[in-house]
Structure 1
Amino acid sequence: MTLTADQIVDILRAAGEPTRLRVLSLLAGEELSVMELSRILDQSQPRVSRHLKLMTEAGLIERFPDGARVFYRQSSDPDARLLVDTMLNLLADEAGEGDHARLNAVHRQRETDAAAYFEQVAPQWDHLRSLYISENAVEAAIERAAGPGPFDRVVDLGTGSGRMLTLLGRKARMSIGLDLSQSMLNIARSNVARSGLDKVELRHGDIFATRLPQQSADLVVVHQVLHYLADPAAAVTEAARLVAPGGKLLIIDFAPHEMEQLREQHQHRRLGFNDAEIRDWIVDAGLEPSDSIALPPESAGLTVTIWTAVRAARAKRKVA
């Protein structure tokens, strides 16, 4: 598909203003809320919202509400993306230096808030997880989705208290758990040792840049992590990169909900994910998605969803 002349003119008109180019440059890196963009651009929210509205209508960017907040991200249309990328490539590097410095300040504040939260809740982490869902039912569903194994290598990204490692580790010859919180890693080490698992490696690591070998794990798990992240799609891409041919990716997170208090009280950035969104990220990352599994609560609360995906196995060479 290509754009018509009128469509190209509309896009160029919508982008043809300094603040809008600044917004496009910022959204090239991650999705941002109106409040965050207003802070970075040092402009009022109504003014920023007007710019965003024009660019959304022109197909330059996409708007999506999440609870009481509204986020924006790059357009998923490849032709619009190509046009935007071309404009940004021509933009002088120093044009957005101030914006990106303020974006880094937003990142640091997020990390500070998240670190403080995880340090505070680390000892009660498994209890907090069980406040909204039946943990036994969820874990039984995770085991079924993972399959019987055995697995050569299991990688658990954002391992937290290490529960996925103790749940699935007995089916694995070797397991790796990554987390950015040293307090969570210490709890995970204690839980893993208590479970009698010895072939488990726990590392301080970033879910966006794990530094693990490509296609090196036959089971990769991302359990209750994506809703904390500013760029969950990038985390899915990195997780998928680790899946070996014939291997599987498991993503466990909340379905869309409206419990806005989880943002302020528990540092949730996203209030759940829908099937289409996760499926698109999985496909874009080169894996084949399966049907999701929804696990609604017995009473009022949050629905947990399990998304699975596989990487096609390599074809066996025929012997002449």
Structure 2
Amino acid sequence: MRQPQDIVLLLKAAGEVTRLRLLALLAQGELSVKDFTEILGQSQPRISRHLKLLADAGLVTRHAEGAWAYYRLNRDQTSGALSAWLMEHLDTDAPEIRRDLDKLSSLRGAQQERAAAFFATIAQSWDKLRSLHIAESALEDAIVAEAGQGLIDIFLDLGTGTGRMLELLADRYVQGIGLDSSREMLSVARAKLDAEGIETAQVRLGNIIELDDYRDTADLVMLHQVLHYFDDPSIPIVHAASCLKPDGRMLVVDFAPHDLEFLRSEQAHRRLGLSEEQMALWANAAGLSVVTCRTFPPSRADGLTVCLWALENLNSNNTKGV
């Protein structure tokens, strides 16, 4: 329970039009100050002041990543209940709110287009580029182990890229499906799978946040070096979780937190790595729990540490894996 002065602080923080607009945007997922300035058309100092008031009141939380900071709604107890009540009663067709949400949709679309353009230019060299940062053999051995001992009926590889995970686990599944939004990547993946004679796998053009056709179908879902291309990684995690059977498992591979800002501008990264704390929060929001987290140091001095997470449904009694 909160003290009266704490409740008043929450109400004061939410009781202003710009801050209410910020909360409505954050109900759609994590956003940076830069995103807010583009959507609302207000200055960075002004947006930052509003966000500080919301953070001080406990309505939002802040996570710094290099030169950027990301904000999300605080879903805990009283703060979360107030935000939920506000969003339930807010008219999203009100002119300002609808305009903000439409701009957010356009902004995310433009970010995805920039990422797709990047992938189109590096599709042929993707595997080599990825290996610069990763202790590849040790990581891949761990992925195989975390996939479990039994035969996997349906393996869903989201953001499959060149199909490396379909290739790596080819003897572990009955049917493998790789989805990617880049036609260039899929062309490379098809050629590789054909060359290896892997007939149990197929790759398809698709958006990994539009997965209704795969709901409750997969025994194993993979997100391999995908989440750092999203401003809010919780969104693809939630959609990926919807594809899992009740006793299914999700594997996530991505970079640990780092400060290499050039990856945003040169390689279309949106997040500078993912922390264990963040992953636990995102997993919980998707109805999952982190059952293991393993880290792998870089193979070169200027490389990045990579993490492998295994996630399962919160009520699962699954004991697959190592």
Q: Residue in 1 aligned with 2:310?
A: 308
Q: Which letter does structure 1 place at the counterpart of 2:258?
A: H
Residue pairs, 1:60-99, within 5 angstroms? 60-92=59-91, 93-94=93-94, 95-99=96-100
Deviations 1:4-42 (A, max 9, x none): 332221111011111111111111101111111011111
What is the one-letter code of the residue matched to 1:197?
Answer: I
Worse-superposed segment, 87-96 or 243-252: 87-96
**Mean CA deviation greater in 129-138 or 281-290:** 281-290
In structure 2, distance between residues paired with 1:161 and 1:192: 9
**How far did residue 313 of structure 1 move?**
4.7
Quote the residue 1:19 is aligned against.
Answer: 18
Give the 3 Å change call, closer, same or farther, for CA 115–130 of structure 1 in structure 2: same
SS in structure 2 of the partner of residue 221 of structure 1: strand
Alignment-derived partner of residue 279 in structure 2: 278
Matched residues in 2 for 1:101 and 1:241: separation?
25
In the other structure, the counterpart of 1:173 is 174
* Offset at residue 263 of structure 1 (A): 0.6
Residue of structure 1 equivalent to 2:110: 109
Matches within 5 A, 1:37-52: 37-52=36-51
Whole-angstrom distance in 2 between the partners of 1:281 and 1:43: 29
How far residue 283 of structure 1 moved from its aligned partner, in angstroms, is: 3.0
Say if 1:105 and 1:285 are closer, same or farther in 2 by CA, change over 3 A.
Answer: closer
Which position in structure 1 is the counterpart of 2:270? 269
CA-CA distance at 1:132 after TM superposition: 1.4
Asked whether 1:36 is paired with 2:35, we answer yes
Q: CA deviation at 1:103?
A: 1.6
Higher relative contact order (CA 8 A, sep 6+): 2
- Offset of 1:170 from its aligned partner? 1.8
2:135 is the alignment partner of 1:140: no
Aligned length: 313
Higher mean alpha-carbon deviation, 254-263 vs 202-211, is at: 202-211
- Are 1:33 and 1:71, in contact at CA under 8 Å, matched by a contact in 2? yes
On the 8 A contact 2:211/2:243 being kept in 1, the answer is no
Deviant stretches of 4+, over 6 Å = none
The SS at the match of 1:212 is: helix
Distance (whole Å) between structure 2 residues aligned to residue 186 and residue 211 of structure 1: 24
**Residue of structure 2 in register with 1:183 after alignment:** 184
**Match of 2:123?**
122
Deviations 1:215-261 (A, max 9, x none): 32111111000000122112112222222233221111111111111
Structure 1 window deviating more from structure 2 (298-307 vs 92-101): it is: 92-101
Please tell me the residue identity of whatever aligns with 2:147.
A
Partner of 1:318: none
The one-character-per-residue Cα deviations of 1:118-170 (angstroms, maximum 9, x if unpaired) are 11111111111011122222212211221333111111011010000010022
Q: Which residue does the alignment assign to 2:252?
A: 251
The 3 A distance-change label for structure 1 pair 89 and 248 is closer
Decide whether the 8 Å contact of 1:158 with 1:179 is kept in 2.
yes
Aligned pair in 2 of structure 1 residues 67, 174: CA closer, same or farther (>3 Å)? Answer: same
Give the secondary-structure state (helix, strand or coil) at the position aligned to 1:222. strand
Under a length normalisation based on structure 1, what TM-score does the superposition of the two structures give?
0.93
* Equivalent-residue separation in structure 2 for 1:129 and 1:246 (angstroms): 31
Q: 1:242 corresponds to which residue?
A: 243
Contact 1:245–1:313, Cα closer than 8 Å, also in 2:
no
Q: What is the CA deviation profile of residues 165-192 of structure 1, one whole-angstrom value per residue up to 9, with x for unaligned ones?
A: 0100221111111111111111111111
Structure-2 separation of matches of 1:278 and 1:111: 22
CA distance in structure 2 between the aligned counterparts of 1:299 and 1:162, rounded to whole angstroms: 24
SS of 1:198 mapped into structure 2: coil
Q: Is the 8 A contact 1:149 1:172 kept in 2?
A: no
